[in-house]
Amino acid sequence: MTRPAHASAAGLTSTTNSMEILSVKVLRGPNQWASFPCLEAWVDLGRLEDFPSHTLPGFNERVMSWLPTMIEHRCSIGERGGFFERLRTGTWMGHVLEHVTLELQTLAGTPVGYGRAREAKTRGVYKVVVAYKEEKFAIECLHAAHRLILAAIDDAACDVTAEIKRLRQILLDVQLGPSTRSIVEAAIARGIPAQRLTEGSLVRLGQGARQRRICAAETDRTGAVAETIAQDKELTRTLLAESGIPVPEGRPVTDAADAWAVAEEIGGPVVVKPRYGNQGRGVSVNLATREEVEKAWILANEVDSSVVVERFVTGGDHRILVVAGRMVAAARRHPPIVVGDGAHTVRQLVDGVNEDPRRCGDHATSLSPMVIDEVAVAVLREQGLTEQSVPEAGRGVLLRRNANLSTGGSAEDVTDLVHPDVAARAIEAARVVGLDVAGIDLVVDDVTKSLESQRGVVIEVNAAPGLRMHLEPTVGTPRNVGAAIVDSLFGPGDDGRVPTASVTGTNGKTTVVRLISHLATAGGATVGMTCTEGVWVGGRQIDAGDCSGPRSARRVLANPAVSTAVFEAARGGILREGCGFDCCDVAVVTNIAAGDHLGIAEIDTPEQIAWVKGAIVAAVRPSGAAVLNAADPLVVAMKKWCKGQVVYFDADPANPVIVEHLAQGGLAATVRDGWIVLCDGPRETRLAHLDRVPLVHRGLVDFQVENVLAGAAAAWRLGVPLELVRLGLESFSSGSAGSPGRFNLLGLQGAAIVVDYGHNVPSLERICGTLTKFPHARRTAVYSAAGDRRDEDLIAQGRILAGAFERVVIYEDAYVRGRQPGEITRLISQGIREGTPAGRTVGIESGGDWATSAARVLDAVGDGDLVLLQADTIEQTTAWLTARYGGRLKEAACEEFQGPTAVKAAAAQAALPGAATGPTAGGGV
């Protein structure tokens, strides 16, 4: 883009002409920019379009001093300090917004590095794209970056440290807690997809029939009965004692007096705690006097109405983590202690310790804040202190006697020190309660010795144990306990994914999606399918309408019945939100043609359409494959984006792309001597003859031959056995039961009726080309076009109709899409008049709505008539035809309307010449 000479920046402020964020799109899946989640912000620079960075006095210096760590941004220069060099030489504010947003995300806790800034068609408007990990947090970083840039322009104050601290708190509020996050990160490291289901800790790992669920450290194997037992501390103690596991004696009490009575019975220091509780709330330990016991009962009673008194056992507080019958980590927990310095009060010392960024409320970080509450005040009193006391230097001050992390305690990893008998007792305790993941609390002096040898005891068995002490112990080796939990849910090599295929292109998408689904079903799968007509799971429709977007895909992957997923991926959904999956096993691109969806969302050329739809090719897993149309140069070029194999398809085996690809040992699907052939380098496998594949009408419908090749190749790469692929091709109906509205050939009162949903220039050209093979003299089209297409596209369709039909009835119905009444009819009619050959006449009629137009034509058909009936909506068309014509309307085959000579000629045309074929289906590949 040619830039104007820069005007003076004097007097320019953000308030007089501020940069404005017009919109923000959240691209949650693979998209046209990247194969990972991104934000796409449309930003209007206003007058700043005329003022790049080096023309704004002091701007660069302020930005670089506020965010000096951006020196690591290499930018397009490709070396450290590259972005700073771009600032000095002059760059635009959209580019600056990209880099500042990335840096704020990184400094606040989610390192990201991908960004783009591209000019839009409107002068001064930019598309700013940045990667993200936490959606709400990233959007807040974008707006914070916007404010920072405006402050730098205005030479206004900007407390970047405070802003980063605020952003970090937002991140802590919205992201998963440490325990859940460790499991999710371990799953992702194994290639297992993860989807957060609530704002809390409920997460789905995996997809479809192979999915599992967790909620913090609970899994879908954590039984409700086991969890109930673990919550009842007295019942847990009783069951463990019955199994011979050492536990402290004690019992439930009815009131404070009864609590003291039990303490006297036990005859020593006791513990008073709620019968049902967790995280150390209401627990008081090492109580010896009546006053202490009765106050502790009141505290515990505030947490739960049922209170337990047990013997206090001296020793270290240990937590053993058991997962799937195996000890995976152990930690010694230490109670919260501050150390005096002779200058600060206890309260000040606590506040100082809590400044540690690792200490945060709500279990969001590895440590929790120390608290001074009623329990802490009592413990301080025992030490002759209050919160205003100033302890002498070096004196340790205990804040509470229990060592729970949730009340400010710390942890020391002792996993490698645990005696085998201690580990065995912990595993047995988890088994007695019935938990797959359990935190076993022990009191023992020396974890290197057995419990029995030192009167050690198990004091609690915890469901949903916190993992922080193992992930980030204050002292010792961190343990990847999240991975242990994931390994308990998914066996070796299991990535929790179901085979997934995604299909895009200009035309043929829905047919190919339906065909792949049929073939996968023939292979024994329960298929979840999305397309422009709805969502199906296992053959049952669960939604209707255009469901070719990412939300419908996510819905299928969430369904636990689905063992194979097949998606239609439309342009609009990719632009709006990205793909509905993180990656796929097979991506099919049918074709990329001009004349459809151009001029929308600044996508104006076939090359740009290919860039958008290529997102599914870039999403192919390394173990997967892209199935690409070898006859379409834009599709062929997508090979560069594919991380897996490439399978080219074309009915012509002499296509140079296929010939070269096979010579290099590649894969292809083609037609040879009338047979669908799958090729693996020089090896070929005959799959099915075109005469036996209903969808292609003995090869007469060439675009359906292409669709069959794409579908067969996709099923092949999805692992469907080839014999079942053959059976599926031979059983897939060419009528409404197979692919409704896609060249459905019907017979009515001797007339041939072709029902097709084609609504753009390329599809209409292919349909009309096929209809030239029919012998009918009287030809009528009932047709319209979507109103959001360009004027020239509607006119072009009119020209095509003029060359193929003697009568065109134009309707306007469901897809007017913003056009004025009569405007679509006018433009198509203009094209018909322009395209009518000299000496011919094409009758043009305005038919009103679709049903009225269809009835006008079909009610009057007879022998020798050929009608192209465009389906306005598939559901409407199918239901209307059945209701109006019932048994008079029959599914037909092409040969019913042609003589034997015509059929043989068409079959000969479909059987392209070539060398001898390989073995029959089932062998050779």
Whether residue 103 has pLDDT greater than 70: yes
Tell me 230's DSSP state: H
The pLDDT value recorded for residue 632 is: 97
The CA R_g of the chain, rounded to the nearest whole Å, is 36
pLDDT digit string, tens, across residues 40-54: 999 999 999 999 999
Low-confidence winner among 84-93, 300-309, 605-614 (lowest mean pLDDT): 300-309
The full 3-state SS of 710-770, as one line of letters, equals HHHHHHHHCCCCHHHHHHHHHHCCCCCCCCCCCCEEEEECCEEEEEECCCCHHHHHHHHHH
Whether residue 7 has pLDDT greater than 80: no
The pLDDT value recorded for residue 595 is: 60
Q: Choose among 771, 819, 761, 758: nearest CA to 794.
A: 761
What is the average per-residue pLDDT within 414-419? 98
The pLDDT value recorded for residue 364 is: 65
Whether residue 325 has pLDDT greater than 90: yes
What is the average per-residue pLDDT within 336-357? 89
The pLDDT value recorded for residue 901 is: 41
Query: What are the φ/ψ torsions at residue 223 (nearest 5 degrees)?
Result: -75, 150
Low-confidence winner among 150-164, 764-778, 882-896 (lowest mean pLDDT): 882-896
For 269, counting Cβ atoms within 10 Å of its Cβ (0-12 exposed, 13-18 middle, 19+ buried), the class is middle
Computed over every residue of the chain, the mean pLDDT equals 91
pLDDT digit string, tens, across residues 849-904: 999 999 999 999 999 999 999 988 888 898 999 999 988 999 887 767 764 444 44
AA letter at 585: D
Q: For 507-521, give the DSSP string.
A: SSHHHHHHHHHHHHH
For 205, counting Cβ atoms within 10 Å of its Cβ (0-12 exposed, 13-18 middle, 19+ buried), the class is buried
Bigger pLDDT: 498 vs 886: 498
Residue 387 and residue 568: Cα distance in Å, rounded? 65
Torsion of CA 796, 799, 801, 802, to 10 degrees: 170
Residue 657 and residue 374: Cα distance in Å, rounded? 79
What is the average per-residue pLDDT within 150-169? 96
- Spell out the residues 6+ positions from residue 554 whose beta carbon is closer than 8 angstroms to its own: 195, 580, 581
Whether residue 616 has pLDDT greater than 70: yes
pLDDT digit string, tens, across residues 186-215: 999 999 999 999 999 999 999 999 999 999
pLDDT digit string, tens, across residues 702-760: 999 999 999 999 999 999 999 999 999 999 999 888 889 899 999 999 999 999 988 88
The pLDDT value recorded for residue 906 is: 44
Low-confidence winner among 238-252, 504-518, 897-911 (lowest mean pLDDT): 897-911
Q: Choose among 179, 177, 162, 174: nearest CA to 133.
A: 174
The pLDDT value recorded for residue 363 is: 63
What is the longest distance spanned by two Cα atoms in the chain?
117
Q: Choose among 305, 314, 326: nearest CA to 481.
A: 326
Tell me 11's DSSP state: T
Distance of CA 171 to the CA centre of its chain: 20
Are the CB atoms for 686 and 674 separated by under 8 Å? no
Distances (CA, A) of 474 to 292, 363, 413: 31, 15, 8
The pLDDT value recorded for residue 281 is: 80
Are the CB atoms for 870 and 881 separated by under 8 Å? no
pLDDT category at 17 given cuts 50, 70, 90 is low
Whether residue 142 has pLDDT greater than 80: yes
Query: Which three-class secondary structure state does DSSP give residue 473?
Result: coil
The pLDDT value recorded for residue 909 is: 43
pLDDT digit string, tens, across residues 647-697: 999 999 999 999 999 999 999 999 999 999 999 999 999 999 999 999 999
Paired tokens of 760? 């753009």
The pLDDT value recorded for residue 597 is: 65
pLDDT category at 922 given cuts 50, 70, 90 is very low
What is the average per-residue pLDDT within 105-134? 97
Whether residue 435 has pLDDT greater than 70: yes
Residue 781 and residue 837: Cα distance in Å, rounded? 17
Give CA angle at 917 (912, 921), nearest 5°. 110
Q: Is the dihedral of CA 413, 417, 422, 427 positive or negative?
A: positive
Are the CB atoms for 861 and 753 separated by under 8 Å? yes
AA letter at 198: T
pLDDT category at 358 given cuts 50, 70, 90 is confident
Query: Which three-class secondary structure state does DSSP give residue 596?
Result: coil
Are the CB atoms for 13 and 39 separated by under 8 Å? no
The pLDDT value recorded for residue 22 is: 97
Are the CB atoms for 180 and 216 separated by under 8 Å? yes
Report percent pLDDT > 70 for the chain. Answer: 94
Residue 411 and residue 400: Cα distance in Å, rounded? 15
Paired tokens of 749? 């009162």
Residue 30 and residue 579: Cα distance in Å, rounded? 5
Distances (CA, A) of 761 to 242, 596, 795: 79, 7, 10
Q: Residues, the chain, total?
A: 925
pLDDT category at 908 given cuts 50, 70, 90 is very low
pLDDT category at 177 given cuts 50, 70, 90 is very high
Paired tokens of 425? 């007792």
Low-confidence winner among 5-9, 93-97, 815-819 (lowest mean pLDDT): 5-9
Are the CB atoms for 483 and 326 separated by under 8 Å? no
Whether residue 300 has pLDDT greater than 80: yes
Report percent pLDDT > 90 for the chain. Answer: 77
